[in-house]
Structures are given as C-alpha cells and as structure tokens.
Chain A
C-alpha cells in the first residue's frame, strides 16, 4: 500500500516532549523515574512475539482457542500476558476461517494492541488506511497482496472504544507436525492485523 509518511520533524518533536516533561515535573505531576519505568516496560514487554505465542497456542489447543475467542483478556493471562500494562482496555480476538476474513483498524485515531503486537506500523496510523479500511477493505487487502475469493465475507473491526482487537489467522496447511515454537515463527505482525495471511 502506498502511503505518504508525513513524519513530524523528530527534532521538533523531541523539543516538544522535553518541554512537556519539564513542565509536568515542575508541577510535581511526573518524575523522571516514571518515564524510565514506562519506557522499560514498553521496550521489554511490547513485542509481536506475544501475539505469535497466543496464536500458536490457539492452533495447538482447541480449549484454549475457545477461551481466547470467548474472553481474550482472561485467556492471555494464562500465558502471563496482560494488556493492562498499557491502559484499561479489553482484548477481543477474532478468528479467520475459510468463509470469513477479519481486518483491524482504528478510524478515529490509532488504537492498537501494542502490548501484543509491538509499536504499530506507520501505515496503520495513516489517514489513507483508516479511511479506506472501512470503505473499500477488499481493495486495501489486495494492495497488501491478500486476494480473497469473492464469497469470503470481510468484517472490519473499528477500535472505537475500550476494546482492542487481534486477528487469529488460519493455520497454514501442512503444519500438523510442528510444535508451538515452530508455529509461532510462522506468524507475522500483519497476520495479526488482518493485512496478511499466514
């Protein structure tokens, strides 16, 4: 997908963030250690490998998959994961099948399950993706190289509130003999957003 990346000049952004942090510290609303702690949490915990592990477990364990689709926030706690590191949000996992494909977007801003997928790609935050994902998802998917049969139903999940979404991709053919770690290595970040098949 072709997207113009309108990055804010990083030097300008750095000055802006520093000024904001200094003002918050001056007013006693924030101390440096809280920033360090948050960055540490972000760098050590927010990784797409979390999402890959969840998917691999669901592919191997039908009972876990059923719990995951029913109450994802509770199910990922079984794997020692917790979305609430980031904000008081709930997770919902939606399953791709032969008949149905799911795509995730946040049309209003850039809501994204960072804790499970890592930082979001820039295209996810672009006005083009946010607008087109809900108006012409089939064309958007085609640009990502995902060509679905006409009869495949497409559901687009717009993250408008306190829920975050992750796609459970279909397990690839011919992977019966693989273990969980090997299966996790097959999953991709875009597969968890719905802009790729696995």
Chain B
C-alpha cells in the first residue's frame, strides 16, 4: 500500500465536495492539521456509499487539528487532503 503522507507532515483538508456522501466532517473542511499516524488502509466511504463493489482502498490518516483550548484527532482518507504549501 502506498501512503502519500508521513507522520509530521502538514496537510490541509480540501473543501467539501458538492453532493454525495463523505466522511470528511464539515467543521474540518479547509482546515490545516498534522499527520499523527497512518491509521490503516480502508475502502473509501465516499465510493462505498455509491454502491461500488470495488471501492478504492486508500490510506486513512489520524490527523491532529489544533483548536484554541484543545485538539481534535480525526481519521481521514488521503483524498480529503493536500500537502500544505
């Protein structure tokens, strides 16, 4: 399996795609975070929701997001993010 990102990498979540199912929560769309670890490789929920039997298996990362008084860690598929410039 290939993982594009490694622990410590800074990534930015993409905007929510219009329509359809996703497991990228709205409050994290567009937000920057740091890869904490690779959580595993799983069929992409967005494709499974379309009933695709051969949904692509993609890296899922635990991504850490800093908020004012706490942090949130969420497990997110690679396609939801891009390297931060």
> Which A residues lie at the B interface, using CB under 8 A?
90, 92, 107-108, 134-135, 137-138, 153-163
Asked whether any CB of chain A lies closer than 8 Å to the CB of B69, the reply is: yes
With A90-B39, A107-B27, A108-B25 known as contacts, the answer to whether A161 contacts B73 (CB < 8 A) is no
Across-interface contacts of A137 in B (CB, < 8 A): 70
Asked whether any CB of chain A lies closer than 8 Å to the CB of B29, the reply is: no
Across-interface contacts of B45 in A (CB, < 8 A): 161
A161–B25 touching, CB < 8 Å: no
Instruction: List 17 contacting pairs A-B, 8 Å CB cutoff, sorted by A.
Output: A90-B40, A134-B72, A135-B67, A137-B70, A138-B70, A154-B70, A155-B72, A155-B73, A157-B73, A158-B25, A158-B73, A160-B24, A160-B74, A161-B74, A161-B75, A162-B75, A163-B39
* Chain B interface, number of residues (Cβ within 8 angstroms): 20
Across-interface contacts of A154 in B (CB, < 8 A): 69-71
Question: In the complex, how many angstroms separate the beta carbon of A42 from the nearest chain B beta carbon?
Answer: 23
B72–A162 touching, CB < 8 Å: no
Across-interface contacts of B70 in A (CB, < 8 A): 137-138, 153-156
Across-interface contacts of A107 in B (CB, < 8 A): 25, 27
Across-interface contacts of B39 in A (CB, < 8 A): 90, 92, 161-163
Question: In the complex, how many angstroms separate the beta carbon of A4 from the nearest chain B beta carbon?
Answer: 22
